[in-house]
Structure 1
């Protein structure tokens, strides 16, 4: 049954079938044809896969992110970032990177970050004489940080399928996200210095203060979310609801950029996105249940423990598998499929569960813009109008520098866990 299941998944994926159809249909066909399991049990497992407290946070974070985008928070963060780093060598590109980090903390969505930041910053990068190859690589890689920076939807999914604390994953994601961002910023500085690119005039103290005050309400959101969770005021799920209500208040009462019409459309878009994510989670949970029933995780764990006795080698292989998988699949899909298979083995090897989650998400973030199938590549192309060959040099440069960050995150656990240890 398992062999037929995997063959059907591969065939359906290569036939460009939607991922939830490939997972769900192949599961139903394999079970119906080659087992005595009642089809009604599969229906129950589909709905059971969504009956998790952690998943309640998803629709609220998705709604909050869409409200923030429409409500004008992203452009205020861009102006604030420019006031802080615009005068440094490589300042415009650094503004793009820093803004993506903060917008990632608002949206939790990589493609949304690419679009929101890219459509504003790409013309500005070209105007400041940045090469279009470099600029396209920057946009694709900077947007990927949304998978790591909390409140990352992918981190929530990892917590839901493994039982790891979402709050701890969020805190560890801050450290990992900073390392990822710094690796890009160092390369940006080197590139701008080497090519003698112009930089903006240093913003006056008054301009920095003005930009900070205007972005203040947007910058408070990560503080509210993470501060509320770790102070015990609310759970990660409740934090999602708080962030949505807060974003709506700021967008309508303070910034006054959201109308009833745009709010209604935001609700529709959020509902569609939530449905897309949850139907994928349900199908992947069904697949995971079938694989577990067939003993696949146990066989994988047994093979690794019998043949690989080095944590270093295990993590290296895990990174390779995740990087390849990230090229073909969106982060939520990859986590829901792979995390239940990898988690038991990693625990048997003594790997910290929070650290494992950060490693997996960091890999998938890089996979989001890894040629030739990274999703962010295609999203960036809608902004830059460049083809794959034209984008390749810039993509590979940022791939190389972010791989250095991945090595640090993977083999130096305290780089991402120190904040978790500090707050516990």
Structure 2
């Protein structure tokens, strides 16, 4: 993906002062140790309960403490790496001369929020001194202290990044713009206090929209709008915002986020993902469009385990794209299909989006894991139909069919990898482990398979993998915290009641509600991505779906697939540009071929929405 703004951010972050590097190294080591401790604690909990029948009653408390520290330290490292999620479709189209301005604006906006809430985070942690945990009998301040420490670290790292990107008058102007806007809102607080419900439009549409489209990280866009709304238009203390962020990030079910992310990295490091791809290529590579079918199937098997669509695509594309190009596939067609498979497989367990829905909406994660398989398969069949139509004229004269003996050999090699998704689902459904704990079983399984079967296990990479896991998880969890606070503010304002009344009065009853939900979440997915959109709007729409008698698992599948469609649909879908970056293809080349796949996905989504059985059949069976 060609992006002057993104290149400027990355190049600016390449030269850092020694104190910045030293602090980052210390934080990274602590983060890696915390991540290791969480994995070991969860695994020990499974072993103690299932093998020794002696549950560790204190493990949840300790995991909760470590988890909040992990989330905040990961957020700090993400701020240093400039890897907090952001929507760059607009700013990337600007002239390269504006790159310093956009970079400085994005960093300054986040820095403004952090500076404004630092003392509130300190006071919030101080109040937790009065709370004592029941099992370990330690002060809650040990856990809550992660919030002010993490925010302080983000401030330090953001200042260093701002110094690096502020290289000309435009970047200085960006800092001045942010400072002027903060001051203007503060001066206008008497007017805003009397604006009533208009403030919802000003902050949650105007401020959020302006920040998101200006390239400000999504988490800080949500957080700034919520802070402004609470501080300037209500009497709610800012510590309430910190409390809601804490609550949003502290669901123990969200521990599945970092552990599944680490599991995905293990799959790549041990060669398990590559073994799956090689088997599928040997099985189908000789037919017309065979490697395209392999791409669809491989993404179905791998997707969801890593917690990152970019990681899923990066595991598959390098193994297939060179050979597909040799067989005449055009670069635009490759990234178009890669993007479409990314959208198609959003419901394949163990999807982090499904874990988030289960945590935030109170839906059974086991049911979501069971319900997500068939909807993604239906959309995959639609993609295969498009592949079949487009590959009718493929030249297969130079393609040899592998002997069945070789195919079976590849199958036996790939079998441990192919079995992993089924092992994970069976462990959850059979009650061996919770959805939070099951990832640690997958980690243990992958380590054993990597050492004994694939003979590919680089111990030297483990620390960096742990740190990368913490960084990605921190970025995800900080969004969840910010979106949770924003959703709470919207609920307190009465917006949720008005929305419920409006949605329930739509013509067509539940079918009309589903149709509106599809359109709304396609749009939200293109702007906000899946997790922030779910955390922000899920608490508003899921209760309406329950009132209308829509099965919550069925509705979850419709919502997730809709967001996936928006996430990978150009011109705004950031997932599409990620696929182009992984494939090293100009985004313009994939614009035309992707629409056939998007139409196929939309038809498949309509089928899933119209036939609830597709989302619930395995739940009844399990």
Q: TM-score range by the shorter chain?
A: over 0.9
Partner of 2:353: 154
Match of 2:315 among 116, 124, 134: 116
CA RMSD between the two structures? 1.7
The answer to whether residue 486 in structure 2 is matched with residue 287 in structure 1 is: yes
What's the secondary structure of 1:180's corresponding residue? helix
Out of 225-234 and 107-116, give the one that drifted further: 107-116
Partner of 1:254: 453
Superposed, which structure 2 residues align to 1:95-114 within 5 Å? 95-114=294-313
Partner of 1:3: 201
Give structure 2 stretches of 5+ with no counterpart: 1-198
CA drift at 1:194: 4.1
Partner of 2:613: 414
CA drift at 1:332: 1.0
Match of 2:576 among 373, 377, 395: 377
The answer to whether residue 372 in structure 2 is matched with residue 168 in structure 1 is: no
The verdict on how the C-alpha distance between 1:13 and 1:87 changes in structure 2, with shifts beyond 3 A counting, is: same
Q: Following the alignment from structure 1 to structure 2, what is the Cα–Cα distance between the partners of residues 198 and 145?
A: 31
What's the secondary structure of 1:351's corresponding residue? coil
Q: Following the alignment from structure 1 to structure 2, what is the Cα–Cα distance between the partners of residues 399 and 114?
A: 17
CA drift at 1:163: 0.5
Q: Following the alignment from structure 2 to structure 1, what is the Cα–Cα distance between the partners of residues 521 and 209?
A: 17
After TM superposition, where is structure 1 displaced by more than 6 Å over at least 4 residues in a row? none
Larger relative contact order (Cα-Cα within 8 Å, sequence gap ≥ 6): 1
Partner of 1:318: 517
Q: Is the 8 A contact 2:348 2:369 kept in 1?
A: yes
Q: Following the alignment from structure 1 to structure 2, what is the Cα–Cα distance between the partners of residues 239 and 383?
A: 30
Q: Following the alignment from structure 2 to structure 1, what is the Cα–Cα distance between the partners of residues 398 and 413?
A: 23
Partner of 1:338: 537
Partner of 1:361: 560
Q: Following the alignment from structure 2 to structure 1, what is the Cα–Cα distance between the partners of residues 278 and 394?
A: 25
Q: Following the alignment from structure 1 to structure 2, what is the Cα–Cα distance between the partners of residues 262 and 393?
A: 40
Q: Is the 8 A contact 2:218 2:479 kept in 1?
A: yes
The answer to whether residue 439 in structure 2 is matched with residue 245 in structure 1 is: no
Q: Following the alignment from structure 1 to structure 2, what is the Cα–Cα distance between the partners of residues 35 and 348?
A: 31
Out of 16-25 and 257-266, give the one that drifted further: 257-266
Give structure 1 stretches of 5+ with no counterpart: none
Q: Following the alignment from structure 1 to structure 2, what is the Cα–Cα distance between the partners of residues 398 and 156?
A: 27
Q: Following the alignment from structure 1 to structure 2, what is the Cα–Cα distance between the partners of residues 100 and 199?
A: 26
Out of 325-334 and 187-196, give the one that drifted further: 187-196
Q: Following the alignment from structure 1 to structure 2, what is the Cα–Cα distance between the partners of residues 50 and 370?
A: 29
CA drift at 1:392: 0.8
The answer to whether residue 341 in structure 2 is matched with residue 142 in structure 1 is: yes
The verdict on how the C-alpha distance between 1:297 and 1:309 changes in structure 2, with shifts beyond 3 A counting, is: farther
1:99-125 deviation line (CA, Å, top 9, x unaligned): 111111543432212222112212211
Q: Following the alignment from structure 1 to structure 2, what is the Cα–Cα distance between the partners of residues 276 and 75?
A: 27
CA drift at 1:204: 2.3
CA drift at 1:309: 4.4
Give aligned pairs, total: 423
CA drift at 1:196: 5.0
CA drift at 1:383: 3.6
CA drift at 1:62: 0.8
Larger Rg over CA atoms: 2
CA drift at 1:173: 0.6
CA drift at 1:354: 0.5
Q: Is the 8 A contact 1:109 1:152 kept in 2?
A: no
1:325-352 deviation line (CA, Å, top 9, x unaligned): 2112221111111211111111111111
TM-score, with length taken from structure 2: 0.66
CA drift at 1:379: 1.6
What's the secondary structure of 1:237's corresponding residue? coil
Q: Is the 8 A contact 1:225 1:240 kept in 2?
A: yes
Superposed, which structure 2 residues align to 1:48-87 within 5 Å? 48-87=247-286
Match of 2:423 among 224, 230, 246: 224
The verdict on how the C-alpha distance between 1:108 and 1:156 changes in structure 2, with shifts beyond 3 A counting, is: same
